[in-house]
Amino acid sequence: MITISNVVKGFGGRTLFENVNVAFRPGVRYGLTGPNGAGKTTFMKMLIGAEEPDGGGIQRPKRTAWLRQDHSAFDEHKALDTVIMGNARLAEAMRAKEEIYARGEFTDEDNEALGELECVVAEENGYVAEADAATLLVGTGVPQDLHDRPMSELQGDMKLRVLLAQALFGDPEALLLDEPTNHLDLDAIRWLQDHLLAFQGVLVVISHDRRFLNEVCDRIADIDFETIIEYAGNYDDMVRQKAQIRGRIEKETAAKEKKIEQLQDFLQRFGAGSRASQARSRAKEIEKLRPDEIKRSNIVRPYIRFDEGDASGRDVLEVRGLSFAYEEGAPIFTDLHTRVGRGEKVAIVGGSGLGKTTLCKVLVGRMAPTEGSLVWGHNVRVGYFAEHHRDEIEPGHTVFSWLHAQRPEMDHQDVRAILGRMLFSGEDGAKPTATLSGGEAARLMFCKLIIKRYNVLVLDEPTNHLDLESISALREAIEAFPGTIFYVTHDRDLADAASRILAYPERGTLLDYTGNMEEYLTWYDKHHERARHAS
């Protein structure tokens, strides 16, 4: 069990947590949720002991494992050895054994030490450690030819998969995972779901993947009102319950504020004179009602609606024999033929590094295809949300001035209204563009797409840096958009908004599937099952 007692934590002059008391129990799978800036990562760091609370205490099991974020920490070790290091007691025993064997000649003390170390290895299932580690690596999507390679030679997405396997290794009593599905393909995500559903210890997971939370979690620990509020059920269950609890808390808050207003009015009228003692009593009552300030919910949600302006023609895009390959490299895709009509929603899915971003750049004309052609239809106006969209926002501007420059003829109040819908309210418009957080930069790019009124959108990983509330708002915007959208996503709930799938099941292969994500996954599973039987 992980026990959090009276925990207090502030950051940057703001209170994140105030007297938090919660217990995470074994056999229960908790999703830790909250908007960007609510303190999810800070809370996770306190759980693993990487950061201390300002007050209170946290007790955790001795065998607590977590998904490490420092991808270069194990560069000198092989991938397989890195996974085994997830069980520190076993890894240390194996290292000490090797050190003794390397001496060549053993003393009596060495023989005694080897006997003790062999006991540790046996207790920790060390004789099957390499096989278990290899199974985890394959499950997370690390091919066998990389298992004996140094971590320094692996790409970033593969390093993350190795570190995920490390966290899962060694039968921990508690498992703490911060965004474990990042850079995983669909097969690896489903494998991870099955693995976590069988886990018997304490699980606490942060994820922006709504479908993943719904599949894995049976309780949600939501950060709001400077505390942790626990909900039974998965993420969707929490959303329904939260509306009721939030309404009750806000009614209580409004009642407190009204009472404080009445007491303050009494103090102003009778603070001195014959009723001074009563005034002092009222002042004490105010202090009890509001020791610092009345807590307010930190949940905010942008309102995203893309206006297409003038509609495109019925035939939006025709692709003939499209192929792309980098010089001296394997092809990214070959001989793609497809037609896309007005109003279609096309999700582009597949593992990291397979070519989704390349496809987007070819679509918007930032890269030329190796072979074939693509022709946009009548009156098509394409808006692009790049994966590295921060590079599209020039420094030296304020949020307002940069956005207004995208459409100078637009009325100032209309620009400010769009910024407000995207959570840039009041003086946020004066914030320098160079200081924007990842989530703020994404929301500002959405503002640009809104005011430019494109009728075709190409969105490359638009959910990066967004919280769950914003991702839900984006899905609604995709569904409501009357124009055509191509979008890259690892978020399966967002992918469900598509009516068509362009999928990279493996390197060099790009499939065009007409249907939604659930239908594609069903077809994909049946297709691969037949292929396995045929082989």
The fraction of the chain above a pLDDT of 90, given in percent, is: 50
Q: Tell me the average pLDDT across 36-47.
A: 88
Residue type, 350: G
What the block records as the tokens of 294 is 């009345």
Residue with tokens 């007409």: 514
Report pLDDT digits (tens) over 312-346: 999 999 999 999 998 777 888 888 999 999 999 99
Residue with tokens 């939260």: 242
Whether 294 has a pLDDT exceeding 50, the answer reads no
Whether 495 has a pLDDT exceeding 60, the answer reads yes
Whether 384 has a pLDDT exceeding 90, the answer reads yes
| Alpha-carbon span 444 to 192, nearest angstrom | 34
DSSP for 468-527, written as a single string:
HHHHHHHHHHHHH-SSEEEEE-S-HHHHTT-SEEEEEEETTEEEEEES-HHHHHHHHHHH
Do 85 and 130 meet the contact criterion of CB atoms below 8 Å apart?
no
Whether 532 has a pLDDT exceeding 50, the answer reads no
Considering the chain, what is the average pLDDT of its residues?
86
Q: How confident is residue 285, by pLDDT bands cut at 50, 70 and 90?
A: low
Q: How confident is the model at residue 96, as a pLDDT?
A: 84
For every residue of 404-459, which 3-state class applies, written as one string? Answer: HHHCCCCCHHHHHHHHHHCCCCHHHHHCEHHHCCHHHHHHHHHHHHHHHCCCEEEE
Whether 108 has a pLDDT exceeding 90, the answer reads no
H helix runs in 57-87, sequence order: 79-84
Q: Tell me the average pLDDT across 49-73.
A: 90
| Alpha-carbon span 326 to 5, nearest angstrom | 55
| Alpha-carbon span 403 to 511, nearest angstrom | 37
Q: How confident is the model at residue 89, as a pLDDT?
A: 87
| Alpha-carbon span 225 to 18, nearest angstrom | 9
| Alpha-carbon span 84 to 91, nearest angstrom | 6
Q: List domains and CATH numbers for the chain.
A: 2-237 (3.40.50.300), 315-534 (3.40.50.300)
Do 431 and 397 meet the contact criterion of CB atoms below 8 Å apart?
no
For every residue of 350-392, which 3-state class applies, written as one string? Answer: ECCCCCHHHHHHHHCCCCCCCEEEEEECCCCCEEEECCCHHHH
| Alpha-carbon span 40 to 480, nearest angstrom | 31
Q: How confident is the model at residue 415, as a pLDDT?
A: 94
Do 341 and 315 meet the contact criterion of CB atoms below 8 Å apart?
yes
Whether 38 has a pLDDT exceeding 70, the answer reads yes
Do 426 and 455 meet the contact criterion of CB atoms below 8 Å apart?
no
Report pLDDT digits (tens) over 191-250: 999 999 999 999 999 998 888 999 999 999 998 878 898 999 998 888 888 777 666 776
Q: How confident is the model at residue 483, as a pLDDT?
A: 95
Q: How confident is the model at residue 176, as a pLDDT?
A: 95
Do 32 and 221 meet the contact criterion of CB atoms below 8 Å apart?
yes
Pairing type for strands 29-33 and 202-206 reads parallel
The DSSP call for residue 462 is: T
What the block records as the tokens of 288 is 């009890």
Q: How confident is the model at residue 292, as a pLDDT?
A: 44
Do 166 and 189 meet the contact criterion of CB atoms below 8 Å apart?
no
Residue type, 260: I
Task: Read off φ and ψ for residue 436, nearest 5 degrees.
Answer: -70, 140
Whether 274 has a pLDDT exceeding 60, the answer reads no
